[in-house]
Amino acid sequence: MSTEGTSVDVTPDPTAAVADDEVIVETDERLVPTVLEWMADATSVVHTIEEYRVVPWGPNADEMWELGKLTSERLGTLLKVHRVGRRYGLVLEDAGSRPERHFLLDGLTAKSWHDVIVFEAVVGPFFRLFLESFFRSSVADLDGLTRDLWTESQRFIRFGQARTARALAGGDRVELQSALERWLPAVVRALGEVPADLDETWRLAGLRTRTSDQVRQDYLDEIATYLQGNDLEIPAAVADAVCEVEVKWLGEEVAGGGRRDRPLKAATFAFTDRLREGDGRGVPASAPDRPGADASGSA
Amino acid sequence: MALSTIAEEQLKAGGLELDYDDFERTPAEYQDLVVQLLLVQADGEIGVRDLGYFELIGKFPNPADQWMAARVATEEIGHFRYANNVLNGIGYDASERVFVPREQRYLPLFRHEMSDFAEVIAFKGIVETMGRLLLESMFDCNFLPWRDTVRRIWQEEKGHIGFGITRLRRMCETEEGRAQAQAAIDTWYPRLGAFSKESSFTTACLEWGLKRYTNAELIDRFEAETTPWLDEVGLRRPSFAGGERR
């Protein structure tokens, strides 16, 4: 940054306090592969749930096409992780088939269209937040990769949430709730998968900027709001974790008061009429005329 | 004022190019032919959903193949949408073909299920080459909305074929792989036998200016194109099975 011609002094003040996210650390690059392995596991979720198998079961050809594109994009994100992995000597090509990988989501697979759209709508935000936790990583490769994957993950979530909204409007609440009952407990368990010591190591190395606890809280807040906003019930199995957001219906207070329980009357020029006729309260000379019948008005 | 009708002789003489607005002015036989042509194309394209293809993606050899295979299959669904859009433009719809059982597909070719990656790439490399030639046969189609759509589908099909052929070549680099590829070719190549006989439908398409190749010409072109690379990678060319066409 150039500050020439200004009074700004960019010389760092060694005594100045710095915010947590401005701490400059010496990153041990040997730790980068540990992050990439977890990222590969996160992006392998397309295999975990076998999302591509559901493509032929979209409600119509348009939705099959959209899901097919999404699935291939998800498979494409894996290639991006693998590519960065190779720079660090990692072979991640088999990540999607390793049985001991993370984020296995209790071994659940997508069995229906509703399963897929609820997965994208509800589980998708967890993976987006997981990626976000590596934003501003001290390693440029990681920062760049996570931003790239994050951007794609937004599309996946939008796909799921838009379809879920449409399905709700179409009366598929039972099917959606049923899918939610499958996925949400699994993703809540996944929130605790990163071991605490690894989480701390990543944080100290500047690789991760949000801890697992923060990711967990971000997710629970976000998903509770989403579910509440769509009148979906929080599954009993995770009721302790996903606290319902307290929403108080303010009704008339929000609407600015007034009475809504009486029949409405036609609005009139009764005020002007009253002034013309004189109602004993004193008629000012400047009282407005009632508009004339013709467009230009009458004198 | 009502526009004049387009006579059969005018259409068959060639040189006409028709748009959506012209369609209703054409003879009923021509209209029926166009509708059937598009319906069969749409049905074949959406047939991908029931070939076992999507179910196999997770078993493909590597992530790059999985990604490419998913894209390719999705584009086939897109081709159904293209064809159906044209049908919609002339007042018809093929949506009911989306969920028909595999055994009810119009072309027998699409009544089978793929069992492994070798079959998928054999289908892409061999069967889709025939599909591409069929599209090329419609490059001069006198119904312009379809001619334009054919070009669009053709462009994507070229990529699908490339995917199939390059993977087949790679598979043939080992004896074991070549055996797998040969088994897949032996399964799918003969099923193209339907095109080895002339059909009244194709003959009508030729007469009415919708296609330009007879089935015999198609087969000649197909063999001329596939034989060299099959020979090069050491794959035998099986015989066509006859009379499968409905």
> Does the global pTM surpass 0.90?
no
Confidence class of residue A276 from pLDDT cuts 50, 70 and 90? confident
**Strand, helix or coil at B18?**
strand
**Packed helices A124-132 and A212-229: angle between N→C axes, nearest 10 degrees:** 150
Residue B63 phi, psi (nearest 5)? -60, -35
DSSP line for chain A: ---TTS----S--TTS---GGG------GGGHHHHHHHHHHHHTHHHHTTGGGGGGGSSSHHHHHHHHHHHHHHHHHHHHHHHHHHHTT---TTGGG-TT-S--GGG----SHHHHHHIIIIIHHHHHHHHHTTTT-SSHHHHHHHHHHHHHHHHHHHHHHHHHHHHHHTT-HHHHHHHHHHHHHHHHHHTT-S-HHHHHHHHHTTS-SS-HHHHHHHHHHHHHHHHHHTTPPPPGGGTTTSPPP-----THHHHTS---SS-------HHHHHHHH--SS---TTPPPPP-SSTT---
Using the Cβ of B110 and the Cβ atoms of chain A, whether some distance falls under 8 Å is answered with: no
pLDDT in tens, A229-242: 898 999 998 988 88
Q: Which amino acid is at B190?
A: P
Identify whether the C-beta of residue B8 lies closer than 8 Å to the C-beta of residue B29: yes
Among the partner-chain residues B70, B95, B98, the one whose CB lies closest to the CB of A71 is: B70
Going A85 to A88 to A91 to A97, the CA torsion angle's sign is: negative
Are B63 and A79 a contacting pair at CB < 8 A? Answer: yes
pLDDT confidence of residue B176? 97
CA distance A65 to chain B (A): 6
Name residue, tokens 């100045």.
A16
Interface of B with A in 31-60 (CB under 8 A): 46, 49-50, 54-55, 57-58
Which chain A residue is nearest to residue B46, measuring alpha carbons?
A61
Cβ atoms within 10 Å, residue B59: 11
Q: So what's the pLDDT on residue A97?
A: 86
State the pLDDT at residue B146. Answer: 98
Q: How distant is the alpha carbon of residue A107 from its chain centre?
A: 24
Question: Among A38-42, A69-73, A255-259, whose mean pLDDT is lowest?
Answer: A255-259
Provide the shortest C-alpha distance from residue A243 to chain B (in Å): 37
The more confident residue out of A100 and B186 is: B186
What's the pLDDT score for residue A23? Answer: 47
Give ipTM to 2 decimals: 0.87
Instruction: Give the separation between CA B3 and CA B24, rounded to whole angstroms.
Output: 10
The tokens for B197 are 């006989």
What's chain A's average pLDDT? 83
- Domain annotation for chain A: domains and CATH numbers: 25-238 (1.20.1260.10)
Distances (CA, A) of B114 to A224, B26, B49, B109, B175: 43, 41, 11, 11, 22
CA distance B129 to B145: 23
Domain boundaries, chain B: 27-232
- In this complex, do B63 and A96 lie within 8 Å of one another by their Cβ atoms? yes
* Domain covering B27-232: architecture: Up-down Bundle (1.20)
- Checking if the pLDDT of A208 tops 90, the result is yes
Q: How confident is the model at residue B180 (pLDDT cuts 50, 70, 90)?
A: very high
Position A261: which residue type?
D
**Among B41, B50, B57, the residue to mutate for chain A (most A Cβ within 10 A):** B57
Q: How much is the CA Rg of chain A, to the nearest whole Å?
A: 29
- For residue B204, the SS3 value is helix
